[in-house]
């Protein structure tokens, strides 16, 4: 039963990673906390090792379609790597319960974001000339959140790539997922050093998330489904409310 639940969680985070260009760990954390009753810090960071294989799997599909902008990646990673290490280190000063509440609030924000993605991801009619500094700043924001909340960072990168940098949606998704794969390495090593990863559960998550991510990326290349994004946003908001209520109840 334990394996079946984690396999299901892995499939969900993998498919969402490929479809939306996100790491998927944000969903996995509360699911592991509620369904598997994993301790807070383990629930937070255990999905991180799965981000690399699942992101690479989705990236393969995008690479074959020639959608990854490697000239952007170098600037994003330059800002993201030091911020990622800082975010990971700061988790040592946070309580497990506090991290769960922060995760729930961030989930709520993400759910709302999916409702306004049609605006956030509205593609520019003309190409924009963007300073590399913008990509570095995007990397700093995404990298910090990737380390502190143990997420991929794609939730930040995709809308900013589109709105601020004028990238096409599919190119932004593909480039984001490639960055997620790279960022998952230092974040995983940092949280492993801190003892925040259950490797047995991480392996089971990876077995399901890796093929699911490839399928999600293939679907994203063919589809642009606004209704799907709003359904996903509704789920995120409802689940965030439930998760925050559970955390509040535990404090009482």
pTM of the model: 0.79
Q: Which of 235, 175, 220 is nearest to 18 (CA)?
A: 220
Assess whether pLDDT exceeds 60 at residue 130: yes
pLDDT digits (tens, 9 = 90+) for 65-108: 888 999 999 999 999 999 999 999 999 998 888 888 888 888 88
Q: Tell me: the pLDDT tens digits for 227-241?
A: 666 767 787 788 888
Residue of 26, 1, 32, 30 lying closest to 13 (CA atoms)? 26
Is residue 79 within 8 Å of residue 139, measured between CB atoms?
Answer: yes
Structural contact between residues 23 and 44, judged by C-beta atoms closer than 8 angstroms: no
Q: What mean pLDDT is predicted for residues 184-192?
A: 91
Domain count, the chain: 1
Crossing angle for the helix pair 2-20 and 154-163, nearest 10 degrees? 10
| Residue of 48 and 127 predicted with greater confidence | 48
Average pLDDT, integer, range 117-136: 72
The first and second tokens of residue 164, run together, are 């601020």
**pLDDT surpassing 60 at residue 23:** no
Is the pLDDT at 1 greater than 70, yes or no? no
The range of the structural domain enclosing residue 210 comes to 2-251
């Amino acid at each position: 039963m334990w394996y079946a639940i984690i396999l299901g969680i892995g499939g969900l985070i993998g498919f969402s990673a490929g479809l939306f260009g996100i790491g998927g760990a944000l969903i996995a954390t509360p699911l592991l906390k509620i369904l598997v009753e994993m301790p807070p810090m383990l629930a937070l960071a255990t999905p991180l090792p799965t981000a690399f294989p699942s992101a690479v799997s989705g990236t393969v599909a995008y690479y074959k379609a020639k959608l990854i902008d490697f000239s952007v990646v170098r600037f994003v990673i330059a800002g993201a790597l030091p911020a990622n290490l800082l975010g990971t280190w700061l988790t040592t000063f946070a309580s497990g319960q506090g991290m769960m509440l922060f995760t729930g609030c961030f989930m709520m924000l993400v759910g709302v974001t999916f409702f306004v993605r049609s605006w956030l991801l509205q593609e520019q009619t003309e190409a924009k000339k963007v300073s590399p500094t913008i990509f570095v700043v995007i990397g700093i924001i995404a990298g910090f959140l990737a380390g502190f909340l143990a997420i991929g960072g794609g939730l930040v990168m995709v809308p900013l790539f589109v709105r601020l940098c004028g990238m096409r949606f599919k190119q932004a998704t593909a480039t984001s997922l490639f960055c997620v794969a790279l960022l998952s390495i230092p974040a995983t090593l940092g949280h492993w050093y801190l003892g925040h990863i259950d490797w047995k559960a991480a392996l089971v998550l990876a077995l399901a998330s890796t093929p699911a991510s490839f399928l999600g990326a293939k679907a994203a290349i063919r589809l642009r489904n606004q209704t799907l994004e709003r359904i996903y946003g509704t789920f995120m908001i409802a689940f965030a409310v439930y998760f925050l209520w559970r955390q509040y109840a535990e404090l009482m």
